[in-house]
Amino acid sequence: MTGTHSSRRIFGAFALITGITLAGCTPGGSLPGSTAPSSVEPSVAASAAASVESSAAESATEPTESLPPFACTPSVTIAKTADRAQITDVRVGTHDGYDRVVFEFASGLPDAVIAGALPPLYADPSGLEMDVAGTAFLSVTMHGASKVSPDGAVTYSGPVTFEPGFDQLVQLIEGGDFEAVSTWYLGLDGGGCIRVLTLSAPSRLVIDIEH
C-alpha cells in the first residue's frame, strides 16, 4: 500500500553477536525457528545460508542453532566498527517464524539506526515522497555506509528494490545513498517485533522480523 495508509509502530530488539557465541530464547522459553530458509529471493539463493552462520568455519548449509529473543522497543542502534563500511551485498530470505534482511560490508560495520517509521517516507537527497508497499514500516539509516567507494568504485551493483512477498516482509527498497549515508525502508504486512544481529567474517547487519 502507499504511504497514505496508517501503520502501527514497529519495534526492535538488539543483540550484538561476535565470533561463534549466539544466545537467547523467545519470551516463551523456546528457540525461534532455525531451519533453513523455506523460500529465498532468487538473487540470494547462493548466499542466504551464509548470512545466518555464527562462524565462517561452520558449514554453509547449517543455520544458526540459537538466536536471541524478539523484543519490542522503539529503535535499535548499532555502533560502528569502521569509519567507512562499503556495502557489498543486500539480500532477503524467510525462515520458520521470521523474515530476514541482510546487509553485508567489505570490512566493519557502520553506525546504524533501525526504527519504526510513519509515512510519508522520503528519498535522500531529493526529498521526494516514496511509495513503499506495506501497512507498517521500518527505516534503516547507516552513517558511514555506501555502495560506492570514496574513489568512485561501485562495491554493490545488485538490486535496490526487493518485493519478496513474505509473511511479513513485503518490500525492501533503498531510500538513498548520499554522502556516505545509506537509507533503506522495509515495508511490512502488519508489522511485528524485530531482532537485530551483527555478524563477522564477513561483516553483516541482520534484521529479523517476527511473523
Tell me the three state secondary structure of residue 38.
coil
SS3 state at 73? strand
Q: Are 91 and 161 in contact (CB under 8 A)?
A: no
Q: What φ, ψ does residue 52 adopt, rounded to 5°? A: -110, 5
Which of 17-21, 63-67, 85-89 reaches the highest mean pLDDT?
85-89
Task: Name the grid cell of 63.
Answer: 543455520
d(CA 150, CA 152): 5
pLDDT of residue 26: 24
Q: What are the two backbone dihedrals, phi and then psi, of residue 49, each rounded to the nearest 5 degrees?
A: -60, -35
Q: Which residues touch 45 (CB under 8 Å, ≥6 apart)? A: none
Angle, CA of 83, 88 and 94, to the nearest 5°: 115
Tell me the pLDDT of the chain averaged across its residues.
77
Express each pLDDT in 137-195 by its tens digit.
999 999 999 999 999 999 999 999 999 999 999 999 999 999 999 999 999 999 889 99
Residue 41 scores a pLDDT above 60: no
> What is the rounded average pLDDT of the residues 196-208?
97
Residue that wins the pLDDT comparison between 63 and 41? 63
**Range 96-108 burial, b when 16+ CB lie within 10 A, else e:** ebbbbbbbbbbeb
- 50-83 per-position pLDDT tens digit: 333 333 322 222 345 589 999 888 899 999 999 9
